[in-house]
Structure 1
Amino acid sequence: MLNKKIRLLYLFLILTLFSTLPIFSQGDSLDNSRTILLEEALLLGIQNNRQLKMVTVDATIANENVAQAKIAKAPRIALNGGYTYIGNPKLYEGFYENSITVDYFNHQAFANIITSMPIYNGSLINRKIEQQKILSQMQESAVKMTQAEVKNAITTYYFTLEKLYKQIEVTKQNIINTDLRIKQLKSRVENGQNLKSDLLRTELQQSNFKVSVFKNTNDIELVSNYLDVLIGIPTNTILKPQIDKSGVPFEEIKLQESISQAFQNREEIKRAEIGIELSESTLNISKSGFSPSINANLILNTEYPAQWPNYVNIINYWAAGISLNWDVSSFYNIKHRIKGDKLQIEKSNVALDAAKNQIESEVKTAFVKYEESKRNIATYKKDVELSLSNYKIVKSRYDNDFALISDMVDAELQLNNSKISLVNANLDLIIQYYSLQFAMGKL
């Protein structure tokens, strides 16, 4: 009898503890949720995502750098001019004893046009232009890679939201069922057909369900916030997924085909290949240091006065010529830079192999998770069927006073858990499908 009283007191304390928690219905914070399709979320993400905007600007800057590098081929023109007022100078004898003022011509002006055009520089300009084009390609690849990462994050959060809403839906139905049973138990307790502990156990079960709804509601707000940031809408917007009835177009996928497609599509491999080209371009630019640079020059000049103070004339003249610049010391100095560039090429090749290994590992992981999710659905469907059959049997026995309330609670919890597991499995399959598409470079 003492042990029964202790268990009853313990049950009552737990029920009291859960009853003091802030329990909110789903409608309290989710009534103003905004329904959104996956296609709409992806489009908003591409348009508004800040990280994607930054890499897009970087790509635009890289294109401008290409245009800037091409300017080196054009002639350079400089305009110079000046005017000077010169005061009459004084000539002193001795230590500032006597002075003679010289009648100087006070005004002096000049103007000239200087132009220079490169003729030969060991293809240095062309190689720098090609290097800027390679850097531009790398930035464009970064845009595509970031776009795929944003899409993958959006799909994961999107279907995680749907998972939470489905869990609330299942749990709320259980709350309705326990409400009915509590009403029945109260009547049965008053008539002496059930113990007070049976009623307390059922109320405790209902409190657990409400706590689960409360936690899921909070998780919806958090995940919605993450998704809001990704797609660039106000962060206080609660989102509710609207799944297309046609569902996700699942397809039969084989592992080796997945790896082959990933090697063809993933931007990480393309960036690694561009990195090799960039290293080779840097080596070619370094080798250009062995060559001389030859420029054509043209000068147009005018001066007033040409010579003074004897006479005031204007002199105009032009000059044309060729200049040669050859850094002979580079023959010794550049060889170390070239050696470093060759080592960088080797490093870039290693980086390409590492990228392939990493992508192959990602594809295998995503493929295994995808296949595992497909098998889990069949297992959890069977679990729901068995749990439902067990629940019906226990309920029938309980209604006929052949089972305890604890048996009824356990059966209901088992059924609830199996339904939630099935909901999670169905949505995990969708999440893993998109993860595999991302790993294959098709998202």
Structure 2
Amino acid sequence: MKYRQLKNLGLKYLFFVLVCSRTSLSFAQQDSLVIAKPLKFDEAILLGIQNNKQLKIANTNLAIAKENVDQAKIAKMPRVGLSAGYTYIGDPKLYEGFYESNITVDYFNHMGFANVVSSVPIYSGGSINNRIKQQELLSQMQESVVKMTEAEVKNAITEQYFTLEKLYRQIEVTKQNIINTDLRISQLKSRVNNGQNLKSDLLRTELQQSNFKISVFRSTNTIELISNYLDILIGFPTNTILKPEVAESMLPTENIDLQQSLADAFQNREEIKRAEIGIKISESSLSLTRSGFRPNINANLILNTEYPAQWPSYVNILNYWAAGLSLSWDVSSFYTLKHRISGDKLEIDKSNIALEITKDQISTEVKNAYVRYAESKENIKTYKKDVELSMSNYKIVKSRYDNDFALISEIVDAELQLNNSRISLVNANLDLIIQYYSLQYAMGKL
């Protein structure tokens, strides 16, 4: 008997600890939302452009691509080489026969030379110009990547920003329901004590309130997770809890035409521009390969000095210069480049197919975003009507309940229905904003 009492006491203590720990955790989370940092939408976008790490990498790659263009242009500049040397020569010996006798020659032991060689390309079969053009195209490609990355960052910030606001609005609606259920629980406790209601009515209301609190608890956790992701996108410390500042004026009312949306997307999307540049790069690779069929002509200039001028007779200094032209032609290229040219032509065909695939993908994205945007606008009308109907139903059921003509289960269901319809309307309004910006992204306007 004593063991059972101790066991029950231990279970009660464990339950008390769990409740306290859960309560303290809930309070800690509520405190984190209280100290949340307010953030405007325009400010979030600007911070993302300034601080996003992926965008910084894209801009660095663009700077590298521009340096590669300048490096390719240097091939047109003269090449200058300087060489010099010094040699100490021991006194040479002249042998007669098979090492029978020798004569030592007294010779000047020091020998040195220096020369400057310069070469200027006059004609290279177009290879230099083609390489410069190819690097310029790669630089344009990287510029397109920067713009694509910026649009992707903006789109990600937009989605997370308004999803965050959606959670705050849900918590706001649910907290109001918690206040209402608190009032009802206090009333029910009195009515149960007076025998006006069953204990099950009180338990059902307490269960409803518990579900509301769990909903707030989960939404608070999700706010912290999304804030962490948004912090990374905009360059804030990852422990910063963010609070969006969303006004009703941000709800879009623009009517958008599908065909115009597709036309804008084909004109603005960087993916299409990038695919078109890919075709030009493939064509420049073919031109570069074909330049291998042509000869190379260079102008050369040599300045030379030697001491002694000639061994072993003279110990004078000899200076001379020479200028001329040189021609080199890899005649074997007429058959060694055959397969490379065929491969380059196939690359052009592949690039054209990639362009068509990109257009198809963008067309699908635009249509999906357009449908979701139109759907969100219609959803708002439906959910507004649902809130009105749910509110009317709740008022009727509450009046009947207050006059003892309805069960507690009916008012609980009516309140849940009203809560769900309000949250659905909140989600629909913010989904409309998210879908609007998704459509702007698909059109290449974000």
The answer to whether TM tops 0.5 is yes
Superposition deviation, residue 255 in structure 1: 0.4
Match of 2:9 in 1: none
1:256 partner letter = Q
Residues 363-416 of structure 1 show CA distances to partners (whole Å, capped at 9, x for unaligned) of: 000000000000000000011111111111111111111111111111111110
Q: 1:322 aligns with which of 317, 320, 325?
A: 325
For residue 7 of structure 1, what is the aligned residue in structure 2?
Answer: none
Residue type of the alignment partner of 2:213: K
Instruction: Give the corresponding residue for 2:170.
Output: 167
> Counterpart in 2 of 1:294?
297
**How big is each residue's C-alpha offset from its partner over 1:7-36, in whole Å with a ceiling of 9 and x where there is no partner?**
xxxxxxxx99x9688251452221221111
Amino acid at match of 1:167: Q
Q: Secondary structure at the match of 2:117?
A: strand
Name the counterpart of 1:336.
339
1:95–1:332 Cα change, 3 Å: closer
- Give the conservation status (yes or no) of the 8 Å contact 2:297–2:328: yes
Q: In the TM superposition, what are the counterparts of 1:8-407 in structure 2 within 5 Å?
A: 22-23=22-23, 24-25=26-27, 27-89=30-92, 101-244=104-247, 246-407=249-410
Unaligned stretches of 5+ in structure 2? Answer: 1-14
TM-fit CA distance, 1:307: 2.3
In structure 1, C-alpha distance between the alignment counterparts of 2:104 and 2:210, rounded to whole Å: 110
The answer for the alignment partner of 2:10 in structure 1 is: none
84-93 vs 42-51, which moves further: 84-93
1:138/1:293 CA distance change after superposition, 3 Å: same
Give the partner amino acid of 2:409. S
Unaligned runs of 5+ in 1: 1-14
1:86 and 1:35 map into 2 onto residues whose CA distance is 84
Measured after TM superposition, the shift of residue 79 of structure 1 is: 1.0
Aligned residues: 429
Distance 1:245 1:398 in 2: 36
SS of the residue aligned with 1:229? helix
Which residue does 1:430 correspond to in 2? 433
Q: Secondary structure at the match of 1:22?
A: helix
Question: What TM-score, normalized to structure 2?
Answer: 0.92
Q: Matched residues in 2 for 1:43 and 1:248: separation?
A: 20
Secondary structure of the 2:337 match is helix
Q: Determine the C-alpha separation between the residues in 2 that align with 1:424 and 1:354.
A: 34
Structure 2 residue corresponding to 1:440, chosen from 409, 432, 443: 443
Go from structure 1 to structure 2 and tell me whether the alpha carbon gap of 1:22 and 1:88 turns closer, same or farther (over 3 Å shift): farther
Alpha-carbon contact 2:252-2:433 (below 8 Å) kept: no
Answer with 240-249 or 351-360: which moved more: 240-249
| Contact map agreement 2:68 2:135 (CA 8 A) in 1 | yes
In 1, distance between residues paired with 2:160 and 2:189? 43
2:22 partner amino acid: P
Look up the SS of the partner of 1:225 in the other structure. Answer: helix
Deviation at 1:87, TM superposition (A): 3.5
1:280-334: CA deviations, max 9, x gaps? Answer: 1111111111111111111000011112444321100111111111111110111
Offset from partner CA, 1:34-86 (integer Å, 9 cap, x none): 11111111111111111111111111111111111111111111111122233
Q: Is the 8 A contact 2:123 2:296 kept in 1?
A: yes
Task: Say if 1:105 and 1:308, in contact at 8 Å, map to a contact too.
Answer: no
Q: Which amino acid aligns with 1:331?
A: F
Q: CA deviation at 1:213?
A: 0.4
Deviations 1:319-373 (A, max 9, x none): 1111111111110111211111111111111111111111000000000000000
Residue 104 of structure 1 and its aligned partner are, at CA, apart by 3.5
Contact 2:251/2:429 (<8 A) preserved: no
What secondary structure sits across from 2:314 in the alignment?
coil
Q: TM-score, normalised by structure 1?
A: 0.93
